Structure 1
Amino acid sequence: MEEEDYGYGSSEDEYNRVYDDDYDDGFEEESDEDPQFSGSNSSSEGYHLRISLYVIRKESLLAAQKDDMQRVMDLLSIKEHHARTLLIHHRWDVDKVISVFVERGVERLYLEAGVSVLDNTDLSSSDSLSQITCGVCFEEFPANEMTKMDCGHCFCNECWTEHFIVKINEGKSRQITCMAHKCHSICDEGQIRDLVSAKDPVLAAKFERFLLESYIEDNKRVQWCPSVPHCGNAIRVENDGYCEVECACGKQFCFSCSSEAHSPCSCLMWQLWEKKCQDESETVNWFTTNTKLCPKCSKPVNKDGGCNHVRCVCGQSFCWLCGAATGLDHNWDSIANHECGRYKDGHEQEVEQARKALWRYTHYYNRNKAHLHSLKAEEKLKEKLLQKITTLESRELETKDYSWVTNGFYRLTRSRRVLSYSYPFAYFMFGEELFKNEMTSEQRTIKQNLFEDQQQQLEMNIERLSGFLAEPFAQYPEDKVMEIRMKIITLSGVTDNLCAKLYDCIDKDLLGPLERATHIIARYRSKGVEKATELAHNLSAKTGILSLYVSPSSNIF
């Protein structure tokens, strides 16, 4: 069989690499549990170690909280509400609590979090006939109508209740401090719940829900799934905050910013790209042919009247004929202090620069959308490919394994998605908006050429893979089927490697030498977006890994 050059090694070498038993190719493995096109969830992860992801539903949320609180309670021998206060203060990071305890001591740990563990006399043991003066309303009450907090301050139940109600309604229910002057101790949540529920059970339930949800909303390792309508799930990541995850509901998103999965774009790049698209791209093609650019903000402006004096939304006035900025005074014949009938050098350079900026954006926008459109079209191949597999199986050919078809489809869609998001990345990487002062013009050109060479090589092989998968190979003779099989296997491995190389180029050659604190990207994972798992509830004493189980029919918030 004649070999083709795919720009990345020989097809025979690639075949051996892909099917080497000691190599994790990143393809899906056929299994009885999921014979469709979902990604594999094996323990190895091709180019990078697998991260630990867990789905947290309503039923498992309280259990997840209690596991973390129990670790702190066992370490410090404190009550549950004290452990919760420490964890909320440290954003539910048990390791951080332990670190502060070891480095600064228990007193400093308690002081910073507002925890008081004083051994106070219980008011219930006091004489019920004795009268105690409340320090807020200055009325006298029997002991059973007063409440003392862990910090030692004692006030009447009515004053405490009103204080708690105000704080809950203000949205400060997770960390309600004592009423005493300059006391920053956090009140006992159990006492808050009891006092508020006696007067307003609905508000007490709201407080209880806020405490429960604090495990997600105050926890840097946990994020709500951003699905719409909301599925009610949250995802917990054990060891990598910069990753892309898939919820049990099927929603894929960036764990860091909760936007759609967007690597190789950083979160900041993707946010800027979305804003730019919302502001400028819906009618970008019409703008390029029917508008002129504002000399101040470079936004396209349309003239809807006969007067050649126009005004941009930013407030800048300019001449429609030459595009130069002007004042506001004008009549039907002329613009005050402005004339453009005479030719002048230099102004056309400013106009050309603004036009180039628009065309540059249009270039990256159109290619990003074109590949996303191709991705949607290719996803419709799924049923057709399953039909082709059924036809091949009915023919009883010598080969019985057709996983190369499903693997090829998965690799195509995975690589196409990477390619589509590489264009917004390139727009910001090689523009002047983010890295203007961090690269010289020469450095920018070298980096851009390096990136675009790899980007175009990936694009070329993706198109080839798409073409072979679209062929009616189920009707081909057996020798032709085997030829298509070899090409799809080869191209699947090639595109996987090229994706990994593209990410490696971004990490080491492009972003590596720069100030990149805000431009960390999710690592490339050969098997695609990591799926969160649901396991039986069990906290391993050795690993400390949280596993959760909920029934599929569980209700959500």
Structure 2
Amino acid sequence: MEDYYYGSIDDENSDQYSDRVDDDDEEDSVDGLQDQELCSKDPSCTVIRQESLLAAQKEVLQKAMDLLSLKEHHARTLLIYHCWDVETVSKVFVERGKERLYSEAGLSVRSSKDLNSSLSSDEVTCQICFKHVNAYESSMMDCGHCFCNICWTKHFIMKIQEGQSRRITCMANKCEAICDQENVRNLVSTADPHLATMFYKILLESYVEDNKKVKWCPSVPHCGNAIRVERDEYCEVECACGVQFCFSCSSEAHSPCPCLMWKLWKEKRQDESGMVNSTNTKYCPKCHKPVEKNGGCNRVRCLCGQQFCWLCGGKTSTSIADHHPCGQYKDDRLEKDGLAKRQPWGYSHSCIQFKAHTDSLELEARLQSRLNSKIEILEEKNHELRDFSWVTVGFNRLFRSRRILSYSYPFGYYMFYDDQFKYAMEQNVREPKQNLFENHQEQLQAKIENLSEQLFDDWEERDVLDTRRQIITLSTVINNLCKNLYDCIEELLPPEHIIVPYRSMGVKKASEFH
């Protein structure tokens, strides 16, 4: 297939382009799309189930043990300090040396010979309670400090209850050495088995909760899975349970909207839930917060104290006697009033578009079974086409692109209407850049609606070859338009904000950990 520029293609040109696709090129197109669908499992993204968590942790522990010839509990202490990153451990080891690496992590590595020589008698005086106990009733940590088991146990229980399970330090004055986790668990288990089990679980789950490259799946109810990425920590992933989420912020997958903008959007939607689309709500002309009308009078008062006319939205005085000449609101007022006055209407527009497309997503997902029925009917008729996988490919493209379009509206609101980001670009370039961005949205929306119509129309009674050609062409066009929209957003974003790169195949699907 020849390369075409889809940046300004309209419906009429799309039909002309469709006519130019011959049978050989069409086969290449659908085969290419099918290849993308088949390569959906990403080996750089791994799902770790609850029963595999210990094996995943031991895999990393073994790397550190091999690197530095350490015991397992020493390797765990070192890795917890360095957030389970073996590369960081190796880097510190090379740059600062073993002694510095150990001391910073609170790791004291002494030989068994040294520890045994410290216990020179059968009786020990505990320097905490000052009781004389038999040697077997005391314990010595790697740092060489020895106290009675009763004092150690009380110390460990207190630290666990205080939330310091990951790094419990020695009781000795000014000793920052980390205690052996197995000693901690064994001593605590005699006094409180439940607490010992909790301690073990905390150490096990530290591999997820302290690790920058591993996150719990945010599914509700929780599926129990964790996701590990090997390279890019700023990506979107799909768990084995089907939940797709942003690995950076653990929220639902929201590209091409940056994490901060999505967080602000969710909070704003939650704060103003049920008010934006209400016919009984308008925005205050002073503070721009939504105001609900609960009476018959068209002179309303906001909580900030400002009174305004319900009919036109204009400010009014506090005096009832003052006459207010009311007229219909005109769009050109937005330009005169500036960004502050445009914000509420920009938010209302963005909300309406966002909700419309998310609603369409839900409806189209429910209609997927209809497509499967169409395929079954056509296959029973022994149609000249033997492969109808292009229907599924087209549906997947529709689903992905509508998600992208819907999440572009929160970005558009914060980029062009919200005060927090108004200084991200010069005022004189804001309008042309906004026009360019909205033009990308409009083109993508037009093609998405066209593809939806083609997929869910009664095409089994029409020319299936023509429908196939249209769906393949639209899928290719939409893929390019999505890429163009991402490129546009990346150019508009302030330097401190990034978005997940565009992936034609959609969100990464995690492979199983073995």
Kept in 1: contact 2:73–2:181 (CA 8 A): yes
1:445–1:309 distance in 2 versus 1, CA, 3 Å: closer
Q: Could you say which residue in structure 2 is the equivalent of 1:40?
A: 38
Q: Unaligned regions of 5+ residues in structure 2, if any?
A: 1-10, 326-332
1:529 to 491, 497, 507: 507
Is 2:368 the counterpart of 1:382? yes
Q: What are the Cα deviations for residues 136-171 of structure 1, in whole angstroms up to 9, with x where unaligned?
A: 122222211221111111111111100100111111
Could you tell me how far apart the structure 2 residues matched to 1:499 and 1:299 are?
A: 34
Q: Could you say which residue in structure 2 is the equivalent of 1:158?
A: 150
Q: Could you say which residue in structure 2 is the equivalent of 1:181?
A: 173
1:505 to 479, 488, 499: 488
1:372 to 341, 351, 358: 358
Is 2:145 the counterpart of 1:142? no
Could you tell me how far apart the structure 1 residues matched to 2:55 and 2:129 are?
A: 40
Q: Could you say which residue in structure 2 is the equivalent of 1:259?
A: 251
Could you tell me how far apart the structure 1 residues matched to 2:361 and 2:470 are?
A: 20
Q: Could you say which residue in structure 1 is the equivalent of 2:329?
A: none
1:298–1:341 distance in 2 versus 1, CA, 3 Å: same
Q: Could you say which residue in structure 1 is the equivalent of 2:470?
A: 487
Is 2:34 the counterpart of 1:5? no
Shift of 1:310: 4.1
Kept in 1: contact 2:256–2:486 (CA 8 A): yes
Q: What are the Cα deviations for residues 169-214 of structure 1, in whole angstroms up to 9, with x where unaligned?
A: 1111011111112211111001101111111111111100000000
Residue type of the alignment partner of 1:510: L
1:453 to 415, 434, 439: 439
Q: Could you say which residue in structure 2 is the equivalent of 1:442?
A: 428
Trace 1:67-86 onto structure 2 (pairs within 5 A): 67-86=59-78
Trace 1:267-346 onto structure 2 (pairs within 5 A): 267-286=259-278, 289-291=280-282, 293=284, 295-296=286-287, 298-302=289-293, 304=295, 310=301, 312=303, 316-320=304-308, 323=315, 340-341=322-323
1:178 partner SS: coil
Shift of 1:42: 5.0
2:342 to 356, 375, 379: 356
Q: Could you say which residue in structure 1 is the equivalent of 2:454?
A: 468
Shift of 1:298: 3.2
Kept in 1: contact 2:34–2:389 (CA 8 A): no
Is 2:209 the counterpart of 1:206? no
Could you tell me how far apart the structure 1 residues matched to 2:410 and 2:342 are?
A: 17
Q: What are the Cα deviations for residues 312-333 of structure 1, in whole angstroms up to 9, with x where unaligned?
A: 1xxx32335564697xxxxxxx
1:290–1:97 distance in 2 versus 1, CA, 3 Å: closer
Kept in 1: contact 2:293–2:300 (CA 8 A): no
TM-score normalised per structure 2 = 0.88
Q: Quick check: which one's helix share is greater?
A: 2
Q: Which moved more, 1:132-141 or 1:95-104?
A: 132-141
1:159–1:325 distance in 2 versus 1, CA, 3 Å: farther
Kept in 1: contact 2:416–2:434 (CA 8 A): yes
1:436 partner SS: helix
1:442 partner SS: helix
1:86–1:290 distance in 2 versus 1, CA, 3 Å: closer
Kept in 2: contact 1:55–1:234 (CA 8 A): yes
1:522–1:18 distance in 2 versus 1, CA, 3 Å: farther
Could you tell me how far apart the structure 1 residues matched to 2:173 and 2:26 are?
A: 70
1:251–1:390 distance in 2 versus 1, CA, 3 Å: same
1:392 to 372, 378, 396: 378
Is 2:416 the counterpart of 1:430? yes
Q: What are the Cα deviations for residues 393-439 of structure 1, in whole angstroms up to 9, with x where unaligned?
A: 12222221111111111111111111111111111122343422221
Shift of 1:12: 3.3
Could you tell me how far apart the structure 2 residues matched to 1:53 and 1:216 are?
A: 14
1:117 to 106, 109, 129: 109
Shift of 1:20: 3.5
Residue type of the alignment partner of 1:73: M
1:185–1:464 distance in 2 versus 1, CA, 3 Å: same
Could you tell me how far apart the structure 2 residues matched to 1:57 and 1:14 are?
A: 48
Kept in 2: contact 1:18–1:493 (CA 8 A): no
Could you tell me how far apart the structure 2 residues matched to 1:7 and 1:107 are?
A: 71
1:6–1:275 distance in 2 versus 1, CA, 3 Å: same
Q: Could you say which residue in structure 2 is the equivalent of 1:537?
A: none
Q: Could you say which residue in structure 1 is the equivalent of 2:4?
A: none
Kept in 2: contact 1:294–1:301 (CA 8 A): no
Trace 1:388-427 onto structure 2 (pairs within 5 A): 388-427=374-413
Shift of 1:446: 2.2
1:515 to 481, 495, 500: 495
Could you tell me how far apart the structure 2 residues matched to 1:201 and 1:160 are?
A: 16
Residue type of the alignment partner of 1:179: M
